[in-house]
Amino acid sequence: MTQASAPAARAAELRRRIDDANHRYYVLDDPDLPDAEYDRLLRELEAIETEHPELRTPDSPTTRVGSAPSGRFAQVQHAAPMLSLGNAFSDDEVREFAARIEKETGDGDPAFSLEPKLDGLAISLRYEGGAFVRGATRGDGTTGEDVTANLRTVRSIPLRLRGDVPPVIEVRGEVYMPRAGFERYNAWALEHGEKTMANPRNGAAGSLRQLDPRITAQRPLAFYAYALGEVELGDAMPSLPPTHSQTLAWLRTLGFPVSPEVDCGRGAEALLAYYRRIGELRDTLPYDIDGVVYKLDRYDQQRAMGFVSRAPRWALAHKFPAQEEMTVVESIEVNVGRTGAVTPWVLMQPVQVGGVTVTRATLHNADQVARLDVRNGDTVIVRRAGDVIPEVVRVVEERRPLDKRGRPLHPPYQLPTQCPVCGSAVEREDGEVVARCSGGLFCPAQRVQALFHFASRRAMDIDGLGERLIAALVEFDCVRSVADLYRLGVDDFVAMKQRADALAEGEVDVSEPGQGKAKPRSGKIATRWAENLVAGIDASRNSSLERVLYALGIPDVGESTAKTLARHFGALDPIMAADEETLRQVPDIGPVVAAHIANFFAEAHNREVIAALRAAGVHWTEGAPQRAADGPLAGQTVVLTGGLASMSRDEAGARLEALGAKVSGSVSKKTSFVVAGEAAGSKLAKAQELGVEVWDEDKLLDYLAAAAQ
């Protein structure tokens, strides 16, 4: 290839790629390029044609807007072209734009209308005699598609205008899908097995171009007006407002919604200040935007500035850093969260998204992986909005690597069956979205959460052992399982605190677990807090079976289920040995919970931790199994309300349950009796209303005493 032919070949390739992207974006509603990649291609082509004017062709994407209509709708010839805007990506380009306008208009302080750049589908609405008669898409800027029937279903578009209006008026604006509506629709689509939308812009375009208006009517679409097209003035309206900002205010009076974020400003720095302000609001707005638009406000100055081939010289779109970019997947891995949730991620070639270099993006769960069919080596579109974790939103299948036979080079990704952190089984129940590691007591990834739950008040009740302290114990590798808590002494806690203090002051490096060494400190160190902690841990060695079962953190085993298991089996070993079928025979335990319990105790790591707890001197009360029919209150439901002087409500509930009762938190016709203490409120009133028997504290104590004999 000669040096002269290189620019021509590159320009031809760019035109082909941009035309293909336009077709997918405007006609198929199935874009395969993120906006940033499209903008780069277009700017490169503009640069080549500027340097080599002889290469510019009449059908170049730089001389027209969008793509031709799909042919599924009737064509509409726009009376006034619907042109797009030139783009700016830097502050200097904005300053050059403002300076050029000041120079060419002779106005040293021109006013600008400032507006958010909506990310939807541009349309033109035609009204005759104040009535909506036709709506069309932008199309190629000269010819669009007639989507009147669909636009009539968008509630924010007025079907008849208010007040005095010209005989003919065309209003331009954007049909968009609000974020809340987009999320609701995708949730509905997932629930009903329908295809989800990639983003709100895609949702708006696809919804508006449905052949059946009834489908469009079901989609959450909205509209904002931002410009005028053709206008025929009449006696009732002899002239239009002289500025664009006044026109927007006038459109509001006619019944058109206009973005509440529109503003006015003078000078380049006011434009840039607006850009920064809207950028800060971007993630909180109820709709998607991809930049802001600056328009010279006075219409006489707009006419003086005129147009270039594809855009007005008096307006500019200042783009935000792209929230979507294209990159290549290098590998797919999983992350194990603090609750055992196994989340798939992709590691990617580094790419700038939203102004941040991104190398990882979430795939959320196995269902999302299957829906996207993400594989190693795939080219993907990654989205990042604000502080939201980057996510893969689309696979560009046309770029998937193939073998010599034209088949995908890599197989579909499968979630691992074993935890990559601890080797425990990964389980996912039918109907559940999230897969989880079953090594709850052992898995390092779940260590902080497992310890915090184990020490909580309703579990082992270790006073003073809060989440921050537990996080420090894990960070400094002082504990690896809940059993390790019982070997800690005062010196261990004091040494850990010294290391934490030294790290905070930059005196120690603990980048490797257990490697940090604090500098010696002089002076007496207060140790009362550590002594109290050790005493609290030691006191928790004596517990009850139901508390221990709850403390283990078995999925779906709360306090009530733990009590049921303790009463039914009487001891821990029979529970550990029970299979799913045996567990299903326990009252109120269904197949899902039975599977969780069986899987938990089948995991060798969990059994090892329980053995270590026993070796550390942790023990719990056990006894003979108590079936529901064994106690005098078997089959009865009791509700406790108000305060008791002689014992806590928890203790009273436990003693009633030991007699076979089921303790409930709400009163109904099925309630056997209510125990009402001091300041009993609505539950007592409900019992009296339903005629349920009410016991006071004295009657409760008399009954418990008699039952104990």
**pLDDT average, residue stretch 168-177:** 96
Could you tell me if 107 and 177 lie in one domain? yes
Instruction: Dig out the tokens for 657 from the structure.
Output: 């349950």
Please give the residue that has the higher pLDDT: either 433 or 139.
Answer: 139
Q: Give residue-wise pLDDT tens across range 378-431.
A: 999 998 866 568 889 889 989 999 999 999 999 999 999 999 988 888 988 776
CB atoms within 10 A of CB 299: 17
Q: Do residues 108 and 126 both lie within one domain?
A: yes
- CA angle in degrees (0–180, nearest 5) for 594-670-674: 105
Residue 115: the pLDDT is 97
Name the amino acid, one letter, at 707: A
Count Cα neighbours of 49 within 13 Å in the Cβ-side half-sphere.
19
Residues 59 and 94 in one domain: no
Average pLDDT over residues 552-576: 90
CA distance 466 to 455: 8
Q: CA angle 133-136-142, nearest 5°?
A: 125
Which of 49-58, 231-240, 249-258 ranks highest by mean pLDDT? 249-258
pLDDT (0 to 100) of residue 3: 53
Helix segments in 339-489, DSSP class H = 366-372, 447-455, 467-475
Higher pLDDT, 665 or 233: 233
Q: Among 294, 319, 344, where does a domain finish?
A: 319
Domain CATH number, residue 59: 1.10.287.610
Assess if residue 333 is contained within a domain.
yes
Label residue 513 by pLDDT band (50, 70, 90). very low
Average pLDDT in the 457-486 region? 89
Q: Are residues 21 and 164 in the same domain?
A: no
Q: Is 440 contained in some domain?
A: no
| pLDDT at site 293 | 97
Asked whether the beta carbons of 112 and 269 are under 8 A apart, the reply is no
Q: Average pLDDT for residues 697-705, to the nearest whole number?
A: 89
- Report yes or no on 417 lying in a domain: no
- Give 211's pLDDT tier (boundaries 50, 70, 90): confident
Confidence at 514, pLDDT banded by 50, 70, 90: very low
Across the range 561-569, mean pLDDT stands at: 89
Q: How far apart are the first and last CA of the chain?
A: 104
pLDDT category at 34 given cuts 50, 70, 90 is: confident
Q: Is residue 557 a part of any domain in this protein?
A: yes
- ∠ CA 8-11-15, rounded to 5°: 140
- Tell the residue number behind the tokens 């080219």, with chain if given: 379
SS (H, E, C) 598-625: HHHHHCHHHHHHHHHHHHCCCEEECCCC
pLDDT value at 162 more than 80: yes
Do residue 287 and residue 141 come from a single domain? Answer: yes
Tell me how far the alpha carbon of residue 205 is from its chain's centroid: 23
Edge to edge, the sheet with strand 168-176 lists 131-137, 121-128, 168-176, 222-232
pTM of the model: 0.57
Ranked by mean pLDDT, the top range of 3-17, 45-59, 570-584 is 570-584
CATH number for 650: 3.40.50.10190
| Residue 107 to residue 305: CA distance in whole angstroms | 12
Report d(CA 690, CA 685) in Å as an integer: 9
User: Is 13 contained in some domain?
Assistant: yes
Domain count, the chain: 5
- Burial status of residue 201 (CB atoms within 10 A of its CB: 0-12, 13-18, 19 or more): buried
pLDDT score recorded for residue 515? 42
- Of 319, 346, 362, at which residue does a domain stop? 319
Same domain, 173 and 230: yes
Residue 468 lies in a domain: no
Instruction: Specify whether 681 is located in the same domain as 565.
Output: no
CA of residue 382 relative to chain centroid, distance? 14
> What are the contacts of 200-203 at 24+ separation with CB within 8 A?
200/119, 200/120, 200/176, 200/287, 200/288, 201/119, 201/120, 201/121, 201/176, 201/177, 201/288, 202/29, 202/30, 202/31, 203/177
- Kindly indicate the confidence band of residue 445, based on its pLDDT and cuts at 50, 70 and 90: confident
CATH code (residue 336): 2.40.50.140
The region of weakest confidence among 91-105, 142-156, 499-513 is 499-513
**175 shares its domain with 90:** yes
CATH number of residue 251's parent domain? 3.30.470.30
Distance between CA atoms of residues 25 and 138, nearest Å: 12
Q: Residue 263 pLDDT > 50, yes or no?
A: yes
Q: What is the pLDDT of residue 134?
A: 95
Q: What is the CATH number of the domain that holds 596?
A: 1.10.150.20
* Residue where a domain terminates, one of 261, 290, 319: 319
| Residue showing tokens 């894990």 | 474
Residue at 319: amino acid letter:
K
How many CA atoms within 13 Å lie on the side-chain side of 37?
A: 17
CB 449 within 8 A of CB 339: yes
Average confidence (pLDDT) over 581-600: 87
Identify whether residues 145 and 215 lie together within a single domain. Answer: yes
pLDDT surpassing 90 at residue 202: no
What is the residue-averaged pLDDT of the chain?
86
Is pLDDT larger for residue 178 or for residue 322? Answer: 178
Compute the CA torsion angle 231, 236, 240, 242 (nearest 10 deg). 170
Highest mean pLDDT among 17-21, 231-235, 256-260, 445-449: 256-260
Residues 285 and 270 in one domain: yes
- Could you tell me if 48 and 178 lie in one domain? no
681 is a domain residue: yes
Beta bridge partners of 662: 637
pLDDT at 646: 87
- Residue 635: the pLDDT is 80
Q: Tell me the sheet residues that pair with 427.
A: 436
**How large is the greatest C-alpha to C-alpha distance in the chain, in angstroms?**
108
Distance CA 172, CA 135 (A): 10
Higher-confidence residue of 327 and 371: namely 327
345: which residues sit within 8 A by CB, 6+ positions away? 332, 333, 334, 335, 360, 361, 362, 363
Active site positions, annotated: 117
Instruction: Check residue 709 and give its pLDDT.
Output: 67
Identify whether residues 154 and 191 lie together within a single domain: yes
Give the lowest-confidence range in 82-91, 230-239, 331-340, 629-638.
Answer: 629-638
Contacts of 136 (CB under 8 A, 6+ apart): 76, 78, 123, 124, 126, 144, 145, 146, 147, 148
Encode pLDDT of 110-152 as tens digits. 999 999 999 999 999 999 999 999 999 998 888 999 999 999 9
Considering the domain boundaries, does residue 217 fall inside one?
yes
Q: How far apart are CA 285 and CA 281, in angstroms?
A: 6
- Please determine, for residue 505, whether its predicted confidence score (pLDDT) is greater than 80: no
Dist. CA 168–CA 133, nearest whole Å: 10
Q: Which domain holds residue 558?
A: 543-621
Tens-place pLDDT, residues 647-679 = 888 788 878 877 878 888 889 888 999 999 888
Cβ distance 657 to 563 under 8 Å? yes
Q: What percent of the chain has pLDDT over 70?
A: 92
Nearest in space to 389 (alpha carbons), one of 361, 428, 353, 347: 361
518 pLDDT exceeds 50?
Answer: no
C-alpha–C-alpha distance, residues 686 and 690, integer Å: 6
Residue 353 has pLDDT above 50, yes or no: yes
Please check the confidence at residue 512 and state whether its pLDDT lies above 50.
no
